[in-house]
Amino acid sequence: MKLEKLDHIGIAVESLDTSLPIWEGVLGLPCHGTEEVAEQKVRTSFFPVGDSEVELLESTDPEGPIGKFIANKGQGVHHLAFRVDDIDAALAELKAKGVRLIDEKPRYGAGGARIAFIHPKATGGVLIEISERR
């Protein structure tokens, strides 16, 4: 498995309406779009930074993954996402190594990417997403 780059940093926020002006105003990063990912029960806004992006995640359902994260830990960094060229091969390699995964199969994320999460218990507490985007 070859990680090509840090694709994005996912940050859990209580409200995009509150957080958007912070990233646009305080940090001067223009938002390049907001999208609802129903499967993940989130609305996401993307802020490109050089070759990577910041992804703000607002929960649309308290029982969704971001809703639960914020209830337990509050707002903050949620995951790091690395770009891979072939997510099927990457998942097969991780499975062969016995790495604990949240997603055995890729699912669809924002921007039409195919994504999968590695369990934070396998990575010392950091939630890692791998992402294939064409």
87 in Cβ contact with 114 (< 8 Å): yes
Q: Find the binding residues for Zn ion in span 89-128 (CB under 5 A).
A: none
Site for Zn ion (CB under 5 A): which residue of 66, 81, 87, 113? 81
Which parts of 6-86 fold into alpha helices (H)?
Answer: 16-21, 65-73
Our CB check for Zn ion shows the closer of 12 and 81 to be 81
Our CB check for Zn ion shows the closer of 20 and 45 to be 45
* Closest residue to Zn ion, based on beta-carbon distance: 10
DSSP letter for 129, please. E
Among 107, 113, 105, smallest CA distance to 88 is for: 105
Our CB check for Zn ion shows the closer of 10 and 67 to be 10
Taking the C-alpha atoms of residue 15 and residue 94, their distance in angstroms, rounded to an integer, is 34
Question: Closest approach of Cβ 27 to Zn ion, in Å?
Answer: 19
**Strand pairing category for 107-108 and 114-118:** antiparallel
Our CB check for Zn ion shows the closer of 36 and 96 to be 36
Q: Locate tokens 């509150």: which residue?
A: 18
Question: Closest approach of Cβ 78 to Zn ion, in Å?
Answer: 8
Question: Closest approach of Cβ 4 to Zn ion, in Å?
Answer: 15
Binding site for Zn ion (CB under 5 A): 10, 81, 129
